[in-house]
Amino acid sequence: MTVHIVRLGSPRQQDEGLRLGTVRRPPRGVPKSEYARRDYFDLWLPQLAPSAVLLSWATSSGRVEPGRWDTFVRRYRREMGNADNHHLLALLAALSKHTHFVAG
C-alpha cells in the first residue's frame, strides 16, 4: 500500500485511507471532535513529529537553512530510533501492507 504526505486541512482524496496527524501540536482552536471532519486527521500521532527542541533548533533563523538540513535529518532519525518510536514505526510499517495511510 502507499503512504502519502498532505497538508493539514487539504481536501481528502477518494479512497485516501486513514489520515495520521504527525504534527507536534494540534491545530489551535479546533475541538478534537472536529479534526477528521475538517480534514485534519483521523488519528493524532505527535510521536512522529520532530521534538520541539529539534524543530526550534532547525528553524531558529525562520526557516531550515540548507547547511542545517543534513544535521536535522540525522538528529530526527536518531529521535525516531528510540525504543517507543521504533515500535510505533514498525507497527505502521506492518499495517501499511494492508491499508493506505496519509500523513500530514
pLDDT at 11: 92
The 10s digit of each residue's pLDDT in 38-93 is 999 988 999 999 999 998 888 887 777 778 888 999 999 999 999 989 899 898 88
Q: What letter represents residue 28's amino acid? A: R
pLDDT value at position 64? Answer: 75
pLDDT for residue 104: 66
Residue 48's contacts (CB-CB under 8 Å, 6 or more residues apart) are: 20, 22, 80, 85, 88, 89, 103
Please give the DSSP secondary-structure letter assigned to residue 26: P
CB 84 within 8 A of CB 47: yes
49 against 16, higher pLDDT? 49
Contact 103, 3 (CB under 8 A): yes
Q: How many domains, the chain?
A: 1
Domain of residue 54, residue span: 3-103
Buried b (16+ CB within 10 A) or exposed e, 62-74: eeeeeebeeebee
- What is the rounded distance in angstroms from the CA atom of residue 77 to the CA atom of residue 62? 22
